[in-house]
Structure 1
Amino acid sequence: MRTAYLDHPGPLPLAHRGFSAAEPENSMAAFAAAVALGFRYVETDVHATRDGVAVAFHDDTLDRVSDGTGRIADLPWSTVARARIAGTEPVPRLDDLLGTWPQLRVNIDVKSAHAIGPLVEAIERTRAHDRVCVASFSDARRRAVERALSRPVTTSAGTGTAARFRVAVATGRGRAVARALGAVDGLQVPERHQRVPVVTAATVAAAHAAGRFVHVWTVNEAADMVRLLDLGVDGIVSDRADVLRDVLAARGQWFGA
């Protein structure tokens, strides 16, 4: 481990956008609900406003989940701050999420190139290097964040790296798997992509042989959680934080706060 982020005695339970089945997604209320359940890990996405404020928000526009409108990257923070998620909850700054719970570990998906600089600044300001995992569908965005930070962070592969990993597993060559994964610490992937299995006994074993973790998103049914945990995955990202907690507790693998 390059940082303390993965220092956890069992599979990592990650509350997707907070406890988003109970409170509006990516709101401080959702993150607080996850913390109240005992979660030590949450997942969020990050965008940045026109004036460089990093916000914990999934979409590139305010329209779907809030009473505001417009592309976040085109709006100043003063406008985004007035929007209310589900009509009730303000859009949180990433600094608020990282600063409110100093022990909380946060998986951060970098959603745009515009968010790279503000994300780096937020991590540096809050000195959160040891408690964040930087992920992105774009390997280039993830690498840009790594290069700009003053200290290492845990990282997850982008889609290009994940695709090369799957090809390497198919060849059955361990060294090819390690080369495909490069410097990332692990993989965060769906169980299937367009009906093609991504998380299998073979891919989990190959990742582990290369010293990398496998986290699966977004898993909301208890039976699916059990099946994946039986495969040996290292973490599950779920909207149903309550269900995930109960599944892990029944297996003796819940180590919440």
Structure 2
Amino acid sequence: MIAPHGRRAVPRHPFLDSDGPLAFAHRGGAASGVENSMRAFQQAVDLGYRYLETDVHATADGYLVAFHDSTLDRMTDGHGAVARLPWSAVRRARIGGREPIPLLEEVLDAFPDVRVNIDVKADAAVAPLVAAIQRTGAWERVCVGSFSDARLAAVRAALGPRLATSLAPRAVAGLRLDSWTSPLPLGRALGGEALRSAVCAQVPVRQGVVTVVDAAFVRAAHRRGLQVHVWTIDDPVQMHRLLDLGVDGLMTDRLETLRDVLRQRGQWPS
């Protein structure tokens, strides 16, 4: 597919291998009210989604759970910080009062043909995540990202170039700067190493007062061989606008909305 502002970035990793824009079920479809649950993930897969997005935290005894918040309070009938509770306590909590919190390995095992985007939410989750990827052999079907440059660098160092990763904030800033100027030889301070090793930039449309995703940003990313995935997009007008810019993927809480938009464009996977 040729986008108005240039070709889609050629996939640099099997995780990205798709004929059209990637449709990510954000937390399995957070609008369902049971985000990051096996029920949510199953509903996404049943709708035809082949990319799930989730988050990981580690319990006090080192179990890696697919869960967004650092505490149980917002989404479950439980209370307390995940990192301070043993798995025996976390597993009793119910998302939306009804769905158990899954382990990441349960998600990977349940959906062997689905690709999973993983946001590492805490330092304590790094080592369990590395071990989980090694145990499951999920190298080709996971992509790891983080809002922490150090956290993501630790995952890259442990698992090497075989792992697909997205850009952390420092490298995103470097790419945004690169898009405003001529191509720059970006150094360590602006995430130069990450820009060379990552396969995608996963970003919001705006960060505070700064516009992140525009035509120049997409061109700069594609020039460096990076795909651009944008979160979290629930409005169909905005979905169309971003796809017209040539972004390579969208993350959404509203699964039917994104599916319908991509169907209208002839880009929903068969």
Q: Could you give the per-residue CA deviations for residues 120-177 of structure 1, whole angstroms, max 9, x where no partner exists?
A: 1111111111000000011211121122227711110111111121122222225449
Query: Per the alignment, in what secondary structure is the counterpart of residue 157 of structure 2?
Result: helix
- Determine the structure 1 residue equivalent to 2:131: 121
* Equivalent AA in structure 2 for residue 95 of structure 1: E
Q: Given that residues 174 and 191 in structure 2 are in contact (C-alpha distance below 8 angstroms), is that contact kept between their aligned partners in structure 1?
A: no
- Residues 1:236 and 2:250 aligned together: yes
- Determine the structure 2 residue equivalent to 1:90: 100
CA distance in 2: counterparts of 1:220 and 1:77, whole angstroms: 33
CA distance in 2: counterparts of 1:113 and 1:97, whole angstroms: 21
* Equivalent AA in structure 2 for residue 229 of structure 1: L
- Residues 1:52 and 2:47 aligned together: no
CA distance in 1: counterparts of 2:250 and 2:127, whole angstroms: 28
Could you list the runs of 5+ residues in structure 2 that have no partner in the other structure? 1-10
Query: Per the alignment, in what secondary structure is the counterpart of residue 24 of structure 1?
Result: coil
- Determine the structure 2 residue equivalent to 1:189: 203
- Change in 2 beyond 3 A, CA 1:53/1:7: same
What CA RMSD, in Å, does the superposition of the two structures yield over aligned residues?
1.6
- Residues 1:249 and 2:263 aligned together: yes
CA distance in 1: counterparts of 2:204 and 2:182, whole angstroms: 22
* Equivalent AA in structure 2 for residue 213 of structure 1: Q
Query: Per the alignment, in what secondary structure is the counterpart of residue 60 of structure 1?
Result: coil
- Determine the structure 2 residue equivalent to 1:147: 157
- Determine the structure 2 residue equivalent to 1:160: 170
TM-score, normalised on structure 2? 0.91
CA distance in 1: counterparts of 2:106 and 2:213, whole angstroms: 34
Q: Given that residues 116 and 144 in structure 1 are in contact (C-alpha distance below 8 angstroms), is that contact kept between their aligned partners in structure 2?
A: yes
Deviates more, 1:5-14 or 1:23-32: 23-32
**Displacement after TM superposition at 1:94 (Å):** 0.3
Which of 84, 105, 109 matches 2:115?
A: 105
- Change in 2 beyond 3 A, CA 1:78/1:56: same
Deviates more, 1:217-226 or 1:142-151: 142-151
- Determine the structure 2 residue equivalent to 1:73: 83
CA distance in 2: counterparts of 1:133 and 1:236, whole angstroms: 15
- Residues 1:206 and 2:220 aligned together: yes
- Determine the structure 2 residue equivalent to 1:217: 231
CA distance in 1: counterparts of 2:50 and 2:40, whole angstroms: 14
**Displacement after TM superposition at 1:178 (Å):** 9.5
**Displacement after TM superposition at 1:187 (Å):** 0.5
Q: Could you give the per-residue CA deviations for residues 96-128 of structure 1, whole angstroms, max 9, x where no partner exists?
A: 100001011000000011000111111111111
CA distance in 2: counterparts of 1:87 and 1:244, whole angstroms: 27
- Determine the structure 2 residue equivalent to 1:227: 241
- Change in 2 beyond 3 A, CA 1:2/1:173: closer
- Determine the structure 2 residue equivalent to 1:138: 148
Aligned residues: 256
Q: What is the percent sequence identity of the aligned residues?
A: 54
TM-score, normalised on structure 1? 0.95
